[in-house]
Chain A
Amino acid sequence: MEPVLTRYIREPNSYTLAFFLKHEGYEGLRKALAMAPTDVIETVKTSGLRGRGGAGFPTGMKWQFVLTDTPLPKYICCNADESEPGTFKDHLLMERNPHLMFEGCLIGCWAIGAKVAYIYIRGEFFHVQEILEAELAKAYAQGYVGKNILGTGFDCDIVIHRGAGAYEAGEETALIESLEGKRAQPRIKPPFPAVAGLYNCPSAVNNVETLCNLPSIFINGPQWFAGLGPEKNGGPKLFCVSGHVKKPGVFEATMHTTLRELIFEHAGGMRDGRHIKAVIPGGSSVPMLLPHELDIPASFDAVAKAGSMLGSAGIIVMDDTTCMVWAARNLLHFYKHESCGKCTPCREGCDWLYKVLTRIEAGEGELRDIDLLVSVGNNIVGKTLCAFGDAAATPALTTVKHFRPEFEAHVSEGRCTVPADWRATGMPVAAH
C-alpha cells in the first residue's frame, strides 16, 4: 500500500512546517473545524480508528465518553511516553513529522471541546523534543496553533511536557499523575479519565500514532480509512521490527499483512544461517509466538485470536542463538526496575521472578523453581491496578510454557545451555 503516515519520512526536511504545508499539511484540521464537534466524533467512529498505544480501544468511543455536560475545562493528553521495549514508531513520527501529531492534537481538542493539549514526551527523547519545540513555535507564529486557528475562532494551545524516565508513565492514569507533578503511579478506575482525568477534569489520553492518523481520515474520508485493512482493524499501521533481523526498522502496512511478511519481506529476514526461535508480536508485554504461528494477519483481532496481542506492534524477533531463560530474565529486570511499587503483587512479584530467573539462568536453580515461577507469575496476573502486572508476569509465564525443557536443562546441567557470542560472560555491575 501507499504509505500514509511515513510517506515523506525519507525526504530531507520532512519535519519542517514549510514541507508539511506543501503536502496537505493542516488540511485535515481545516476540514474537521468546518464540522460540528459531534460530527467529528461520528466521523472518527465511522472510520473505526483504534488506539495505537496498545489496548486498541476505539478512539471515537473514547472521545464520546468525555463528559460534555460540565463547566470544567477538558484536556487532550498526547501519550508520547513511548517506552514499551521493542517499540519506536512514535519516535520516528515525532522526529520526522511532528506537525502531523500537532494537527491530530488540535482535531482531538476540537472534538472534545478542549482548549489545551499536553504532549507528554518521555525525558529520554530530548533530541526529539528540541525538534518539536522549534516546529511548534513556527506553527504558533503562522496561526496553526494558538488563537483563532485558521481564522475559525477556535483557540487551542499545545504544551510539550517532558517526563523524566518512568515506563509506568505510559499508562494513561499514571501519565496524568505525572503531568500533575506527582509520581507516575496508576489511579484506581473508575472514574476513568473521560470523567475525571487531568486536574480532575474530563480528559482523553491518546497515543501519538493514533492522533497522527486523524488528519488522513478527514482528508480522505472515514470509509477510505476503514477500507484499509481487515474489518474493525482499518487504517495504516506502523510496525516496529527489531532484534535478530537483517534490516530492523519501522514499516507501514495495513493490518492484512502477516507477521511472517513483516519479518521476512519488510525487515529482510533472519541473519544468515539462523532461524526464528520466538517472536514477541506487540512489545515485551505480550505473550510470545512460535515460528509456526506467524502466518496470521498482524491485526488487533487476529493476533488476539492466536493467544497474544498486537499491543504497540513492537515485533521483537529472537533467533536460535537466544537462551529463553536469559530473555525472560532480561525482561524481568526491566519490569522489576520499572514497577511503580503501588501494588504489592507486582512490586514484590517482579523482584522475585527476577531473582528466581537469575538463579536458574546461572545454573544454580532447582526443578521446583520452574513451578515457583509459574506460581509467582499467576499471583501477579489480574491482581494489580493497571496492566503492568499482567505484562510483567507474561515473559516468565510464556517462556516456561513454550520452552520448559530449556529451563530444565539449565537446572540439570547446572549452566546456561544456550550461550551466545553476543552476550557478556559476567556483567560488571557494582554492588549496591
Chain B
Amino acid sequence: MSFHPLMAYDRARFQKSERKIADEGPPFVFTPERRAKLDDILTKYPPDKKRSAVLAALYLVQEQVGYVTAGGMRHVAGILDLAPAEVEDVATYYVMFFKEPVGKHVVQVCRTLSCALMGAERVTETLSEKLGIKVGETDASGTFTLLEFECLGACDRAPVIMVNNAQWYECVRPEDVGRLVDDLTASKRDPAFSGCHLKVEA
C-alpha cells in the first residue's frame, strides 16, 4: 500500500533505482602493455595516493574496449584499491568517457557561444543530414557517432570539431562537412583542417 496520496505503491516501478546500470562489456583485463603504462603512471603520484591515476586508468580501459565497461571499472578498482562504485562515480562524471559502445569515429562539434556565433549549429545540422543520424546517435554500421561538445577552448578557430577525443578539425564551415566525412572514412587527415601550430610551421 502507498503512504503517498497520488503515487501508487508498486514494486515494479517505484522501488527501482533510475540509475543507468553500467554496461558489463566483455571480460576485462589490461593488456600487458597497458598494465605497464598504468604502473608507470602510478609512479608519478605518492605511493599511498594511487587513486590519482583513476582518470588515466579509465582512458586505458576506453582505449582497449572503445568505451568504459563495468568489467573494466572493476578491474581498475582492483588495481587502485578502490571500491568499484568509487571508480564508477568518477567515470560517470567526466564527459570524455563513453559509457556505451560508440562508432569508430566519434564526431564532437563544439556548440558553445563563440563556435555557435560562427555557425556551429549549421555544421551540426549538415553533419546530421550527411550521416543520417541525430546528435547523440550512432549510425547503423557503427562508423560514426555524432555528439555536441561544450567549449573546446579554440574559439579563434571556430567552429571546432574534435574526433575521438584527440583529433581536431578547425574553422569548419557547413560546406566542408562532406570533405571532412570523406576524410575520416578514408582515415586520412586533410592538413587544411589541422591545428594552428601546424599552420605556423608550414
Q: Which residues of A contact B (CB under 8 A)?
A: 9-10, 12-13, 15, 73, 82-88, 90-92, 95-96, 122-127, 131, 157, 159, 161-167, 178-184, 199, 240-244, 248-250, 280, 284, 314, 316, 318, 322, 327, 330-331, 333-334, 337-338, 340, 422-425, 427-430, 432
User: What 12 additional pairs, Cβ within 8 angstroms, besides A181-B90, A422-B117, A430-B137?
Assistant: A13-B201, A87-B153, A96-B200, A123-B59, A159-B44, A162-B59, A165-B94, A242-B155, A248-B158, A333-B111, A427-B125, A430-B135
Which residue in A92, A122, A166, A330 is a CB contact (below 8 Å) of B196? A92
Shortest distance in angstroms between A321's beta carbon and chain B's nearest beta carbon? 9
Q: How far is the CB of B6 from chain A (nearest CB, A)?
A: 21
The residue from B94, B112, B124 contacting A284, defined by CB atoms under 8 A apart: B112
Tell me whether B122 is interfacial, beta carbon within 8 Å: yes
A184 and B114 contact, Cβ closer than 8 Å, known pairs A85-B151, A161-B52, A248-B156: no
Which one of A90, A159, A167, A314 contacts B155 once the chains associate, using CB atoms below 8 Å?
A: A314
Of the listed residues A167, A182, A327, the one surrounded by the most CB atoms of chain B closer than 10 A to its CB is A182
Cα–Cα distance between A333 and B51 once the two chains are bound (Å): 31
Which chain A positions have C-beta within 8 A of B64? Answer: none
Interface residues of B in 110-136 (CB under 8 A from A): 111-114, 116-119, 121-122, 124-125, 128-129, 133-136
Give the docked Cα–Cα distance between A92 and B197 (Å): 8
**Which of the listed residues A157, A179, A242 has the most CB atoms from chain B within 10 Å of its own CB?**
A242
* Interface: B166 (CB within 8 A): yes
Q: How far is the CA of A87 from the CA of B150 in the complex (A)?
A: 13
Question: Is B195 at the interface (CB under 8 A from chain A)?
Answer: yes
Choose among A85, A161, A316 the residue with the greatest number of B CB atoms under 10 Å from its CB: A85
With A and B bound together, what is the CA distance between A318 and B158 in angstroms? 14
* Docked pose: A316 CA to B168 CA in angstroms: 22
B200 and A125 contact, CB distance less than 8 A: no
A424 to B129, CA, bound (A): 12
Say yes or no: is B95 at the interface (Cβ < 8 Å to chain A). yes
Indicate the size class of the contact surface on chain B: 35 or more
Please report the C-alpha to C-alpha distance between residue A87 and residue B128 in the assembled complex, in whole angstroms: 28
> Which residues on the A side are within 8 Å of B162 (C-beta)?
124
Residue from the list A131, A242, A429 in contact with B156, Cβ < 8 A: A242
Task: Give the docked Cα–Cα distance between A269 and B136 (Å).
Answer: 37
Contact, CB under 8 Å: A162 / B55: yes
Tell me if B116 and A330 are in contact (CB < 8 A): yes
CB distance from A380 to the nearest CB of B (A): 19
B111: chain A residues at CB < 8 Å are: 330, 333
- Give the chain A neighbours of B124 by CB distance below 8 A: 424, 427-428
Q: With a CB–CB cut-off of 8 A, which chain A residues contact B136?
A: 429-430, 432
Cross-chain contact A95 with B94 (CB below 8 angstroms): no
Residue of B nearest to A81 (CB): B153
Tell me which residues across on chain A come within 8 A of B113, comparing CB atoms.
Answer: 85-86, 243, 280, 284, 316, 327, 330-331, 334
A316-B114, A322-B117, A428-B134 are contacts. A162–B56 as well, Cβ < 8 Å?
Answer: yes
Q: A12-B201, A327-B113 are in contact. Are A422 and B119 (CB under 8 A)?
A: yes
Contacting pair A166 B117 (CB below 8 A):
no
Which residues does chain B contribute within 8 Å of A157, judged by CB atoms? 44
- Which of A87, A122, A164, A240 meets B59, CB within 8 Å? A164
Residues of A with C-beta under 8 A to B200? 9-10, 12, 96
CA–CA, A86 to B44, complex, Å? 33
User: Which residues in B have some Cβ–Cβ distance to A below 8 Å?
Assistant: 44-46, 49, 51-56, 58-59, 80, 89-90, 93-97, 111-114, 116-119, 121-122, 124-125, 128-129, 133-137, 148-158, 162, 165-168, 195-197, 200-201
**In angstroms, how far is the closest chain B Cβ from the Cβ of A241?**
8
**In the bound complex, how far is the Cα of B90 from the Cα of A331, in angstroms?**
25
- Most chain A CB within 10 A, of B56, B117, B152, B196, is at B117
Q: Is the CB of A91 within 8 A of B153?
A: yes
The docked-state distance in angstroms from the alpha carbon of A126 to that of B155 is 17
Some 5 contacts from A to B, beta carbons below 8 A apart, are A10-B200, A124-B96, A180-B51, A240-B156, A337-B150
Verify A422–B122 contact, CB threshold 8 A. Answer: yes
Contacts of B96 in A (CB 8 A): 123-124, 164-165
Assembled-state Cα–Cα distance A96/B200 (Å): 10
Q: State A161–B41 Cα separation when bound (angstroms).
A: 9
List residues of chain A with CB within 8 A of the CB of B152.
124
Chain B residues positioned under 8 Å from A10 (CB to CB):
200
Chain B residues in 8 Å Cβ range of A161: 52, 55
Question: Which of B58, B89, B112 lies in contact with A330, CB distance below 8 A?
Answer: B112
A199 vs B97: C-alpha distance when bound (angstroms): 25
Q: Do B155 and A127 touch (CB < 8 A)? A: no
Q: Please give me the residue from chain A that is nearest to B52 by CB atom.
A: A181
Interface centre among B116, B134, B137, B167 (most CB of A within 10 A): B116
B94 and A123 form a contact (CB under 8 A): yes
* CB nearest neighbor in B for A122: B153
Residues of A within 8 Å of B117, CB to CB, are 242-244, 316, 318, 322, 422
**Which 3 A/B pairs are nearest by Cβ-Cβ distance?**
A181-B51, A164-B94, A242-B155
Q: Which of B97, B125, B150, B157 contacts A428 (CB 8 A)?
A: B125
Contact A127 B153 (CB under 8 A): no
User: Which residue on B lies nearest to A10, using beta carbons?
Assistant: B200
For the complex, give the distance between the alpha carbons of A85 and B148 in Å. 15
Say yes or no: B112 contacts A127, CB within 8 Å: no
Asked if A334 contacts B112 (CB within 8 A), the reply is: yes
Q: Which of A82, A163, A167, A248 contacts B150 (CB 8 A)?
A: A167
